[in-house]
Amino acid sequence: MKVMETGEKTGFVGRLRLRWANDSHFGTVLVLLGLIILQTLVLGFDYDSVGQWFSAWGRNWINILRNNAGVGIIALGMTFVIITGGIDLSVGSTLVAIGAASMMMLDIGPKGFLGNLGITGLPAYVLTVIFAMLMGLVLGALTGLLITKGRIAPFVATLGTMKILRSVTQHFMQGYNPRVPREFLQLANLQVGGLMFMPIIYWLAIALILIYVSQRTVWGRQVIAVGSNERAAQLSGVNVNRVKVGAYTLTGVLVGIASIIQVARIGTMDFANAGSGYEMDAIAAAVVGGTSMRGGRGTIFGTVLGMLIIAVMNNLLNLFGVPPFLREAAKGVIVIASVLFQRKESA
């Protein structure tokens, strides 16, 4: 990313053009636009009632975005992790663990933690959200410490935590079905003008913040340095371990947020299956968006684009009536194709 540009800042248009000229996202954006046009054509443009057509098109899009907001948020953290040269396989299991714990706090049944303390309503919701983020933070930091201080390869360390968190959660949640208060569901399902777009707003807001973090903050740039050349970064006074732990911790917090969204959307969670495969979807989004698995290269904006490409593709396959089992294959094709495409581009 061209972050610190100098010269040629001839107003807004000039900067935009400069950006456009040497922006690594150019190809990704084109692919996304192509897919969107295709999707629009498939939906069928209705010349007679443009208004109606547009509202159907918009609704379809809000659905797409809302369904992908959770993974989309996790993918943002995954991007940082992958740029440092690591990987986090545990996001799906962490999501379930945090989801279970949050639901236990909120439960309106006799075992509800906050309910038993006499905390209900808004204070309980706020506490739960804070708790979910804190729990993500702690789990993420622990993962980071395992990898840095414990010197365990990221793949292995997170494979371990992935198994542990899922199985422990399933064990403790056997035969226990917490009931989440209806009001809490407003967090994800609040309707404005008949449209539900809260998760999209969370995703967008977090993405914007993280784009800034990645481009302008010391930590954000150090992430790139560590991933690109760890030794050189260390010999430039960068605390490599702290940078890495930061990436896993951030991912943990984001998983906490995604978990809350998941709980708030339907008020229940399938502890055996919820979140499974999220790690792969998040990695796929990052890779399609131009993040290199070797580290050192990748952007948050790219990951958002990558997530959108995968989402639109899914939607298209749905519209085309492709059998559901084949859709995963299509995802695989996109991931491989995008990497081949990018390699040619960067060579």
Partner 1 sequence: MIVEMKNIYKSFGKNQVLKDVSITINGGEICALIGENGAGKSTLMNILGGVLPADSGTIYLDGKPVRFANPAESLRAGIAFIHQELNLINDLPVYENMFLGREIRSRWGRLDLETMEEKTADIFRRMNIELDPRAMVRDLDASYKQIVEICRAIMMDASVIIMDEPTTSLTEPEIRRVFQMMETLRDQGVGIIFISHKLNEVMDICERYMVLRDGELVAEGDVAAVTTDDLARFMVGHDVRTEQLTREVRIGEEVLRVENLNHRTAFRGINFSVRRGEILGFTGLLGDGRSELFQAIFGADEVLSGRVWLDGQEVKIHSTEHALELGIGYLPRNRKENAIIKDMNILENASIVTWPLFAKRGVIDINRQEGLFTEQIDRLGIRLQRITDSINTLSGGNQQKVVLAKWLAARPKVLILDNPTQGVDVGAKEEIYDIILDLAEQGLAIIVLSSEAQEIIRLCDRALVMYQGHIQGEVSGGTMNEHDIMRLATGGVLSAS
Binding site for partner 1 (CB under 8 A): 2-7, 216-219, 221-222, 224-225, 227-229, 231-239, 296-297
Least Cβ distance, residue 30 to partner 1 (angstroms): 23
Question: Containing H/E element for 195?
Answer: strand 195-196
**DSSP codes of every residue in 95-117:** HHHHHHHHHHHH--STT-HHHHH
Q: Closer to partner 1 at the Cβ: 97 or 224? A: 224
Question: Containing H/E element for 154?
Answer: helix 154-172
Please name which of 288, 29, 55, 313 lies closest in space to residue 19, comparing C-alpha atoms. 29
Distances, alpha carbon 112 to alpha carbons 71, 72, 187, 188, 266, in Å: 28, 30, 19, 21, 18
How far apart are the C-alpha atoms of 102 and 12, rounded to whole Å? Answer: 45
Q: Closer to partner 1 at the Cβ: 221 or 265? A: 221
Least Cβ distance, residue 26 to partner 1 (angstroms): 17
Q: Closer to partner 1 at the Cβ: 68 or 214? A: 214
Least Cβ distance, residue 12 to partner 1 (angstroms): 18
Pairing mode, strands 195-196 and 191-192: antiparallel
Other C-beta atoms lying within 10 Å of the C-beta of residue 337: 12
Q: Are 229 and 296 in contact (CB under 8 A)?
A: yes
Least Cβ distance, residue 302 to partner 1 (angstroms): 14
Q: Are 230 and 250 in contact (CB under 8 A)?
A: no
Least Cβ distance, residue 219 to partner 1 (angstroms): 6
Q: Closer to partner 1 at the Cβ: 245 or 312? A: 245
How far apart are the C-alpha atoms of 57 and 11, rounded to whole Å? Answer: 35
- In sequence order, which residues have a C-beta less than 8 Å from that of residue 193 and are 6 or more positions away? none
Q: What is the DSSP letter of 182?
A: G
Burial class (CB in 10 A: 0-12, 13-18, 19+), 58: exposed
Q: Closer to partner 1 at the Cβ: 233 or 263? A: 233
Q: Closer to partner 1 at the Cβ: 234 or 276? A: 234
Least Cβ distance, residue 199 to partner 1 (angstroms): 28
With the C-alpha atoms ordered 210, 123, 168, 266, is the resulting torsion angle positive or negative? Answer: negative
Least Cβ distance, residue 230 to partner 1 (angstroms): 10
Least Cβ distance, residue 332 to partner 1 (angstroms): 27
Q: Closer to partner 1 at the Cβ: 32 or 213? A: 213
Q: Closer to partner 1 at the Cβ: 228 or 276? A: 228
Least Cβ distance, residue 84 to partner 1 (angstroms): 12
Please name which of 303, 276, 288 lies closest in space to residue 77, comparing C-alpha atoms. 303
Q: Closer to partner 1 at the Cβ: 213 or 264? A: 213
How far apart are the C-alpha atoms of 228 and 212, rounded to whole Å? Answer: 20
